[in-house]
Amino acid sequence: MKDRRARRRAETQEEILRIALDVMAEEGVAALTMATVARRLGVQPPSLYKYFPSRAAVYDALFERGQLGYLHAVRQAAEGMEPGLEAMGASLEAGARWIMGNQVLAQLLFWRPVPGFRPSEQAYAPALGIHAHFKGLIEGAVARGEVHQDAAGEEGLALAASLIAGVVSQQLANQPEAGYEDGAYTRLVPRLPGIFAASYPCRGKGRKMPGERVN
């Protein structure tokens, strides 16, 4: 009996999250209300609070789900590859493809469209895994002599995140209906590892490091 109730509860929670995504896609991520979800589910609004105590809790569950999906995509893309720029490129492409296929969740994850919403520690944990994943790939690139060691610092990680965020932001702003291969901006993703490497060239290759003085 308890297993049956737990299964029903899980199924209802899944349905609530599915409906919430539909509402966010149709009306905007910040336009989600518990009343709208309840109406579409065919229940009174107070009934929803048995499954999610607030609208923020719904956002939190979706945020965690999205981060887990993105983390799985970038990890799977680099599986079996040596850490380095090639694996970084594969992960960046997989992440961009995931975003194009999950645009509503991506807005919640990366663009802060809901005033006042802050993910819980549990929901944010996969984001730390994403950070660690790319840090490991960049450290691998350093070990392989593909980039300078400074690339593995926080500034380098911020640059890598900014490069992919800039591309997908432009894509979603200008051509949200385009496929990954057809997008005017997503087609630039394969160039990003090279742009990143050019920002942190190894010494001895005829180029100076950013900010480095030439004697």
* pLDDT tens-digit readout, 30-81: 999 999 999 999 999 899 999 999 999 999 999 999 999 999 999 999 999 9
Q: What pLDDT is recorded for position 207?
A: 41
1 pLDDT more than 90 = no
Q: How confident is the model at residue 126 (pLDDT cuts 50, 70, 90)?
A: very high
Q: What pLDDT is recorded for position 215?
A: 37
157 pLDDT more than 60 = yes
Domain 1-53 is in which class?
mainly alpha
How many of the other CB atoms lie within 10 Å of CB of 187? 15
- 178 with 184: CB under 8 angstroms? yes
Q: Is the pTM of this model over 0.85?
A: yes
Dump strand ranges (E) for the chain. Answer: none
Between the CA of residue 87 and those of 44, 81, 93, 183, what are the distances in Å? Answer: 49, 6, 10, 22
- 193 with 84: CB under 8 angstroms? no
Residue among 135, 178, 176 at smallest CA distance from 154: 135
The pLDDT tens digits for 167-215 are: 999 999 999 999 899 999 999 999 999 999 999 998 754 444 334 443 3
Q: What pLDDT is recorded for position 204?
A: 54
Q: What pLDDT is recorded for position 5?
A: 83
Q: How confident is the model at residue 97 (pLDDT cuts 50, 70, 90)?
A: very high
Mean pLDDT of the chain: 92
Once rounded to an integer, what is the mean pLDDT over residues 4-13?
Answer: 89
Domain assignments of the chain as residue spans, ordered by start: 1-53, 56-215
- 92 with 192: CB under 8 angstroms? yes
Once rounded to an integer, what is the mean pLDDT over residues 147-160?
Answer: 96
Fold of 56-215: Tetracycline Repressor; domain 2 (1.10.357)
pLDDT-above-70 percentage for the chain: 93
- CA quadruple 95, 90, 134, 81: dihedral sign: positive
Neighbouring C-alpha atoms within 13 Å toward the C-beta of 74: 26
Q: What pLDDT is recorded for position 196?
A: 97
Q: Determine phi and psi for 14, rounding to 5 degrees.
A: -60, -45
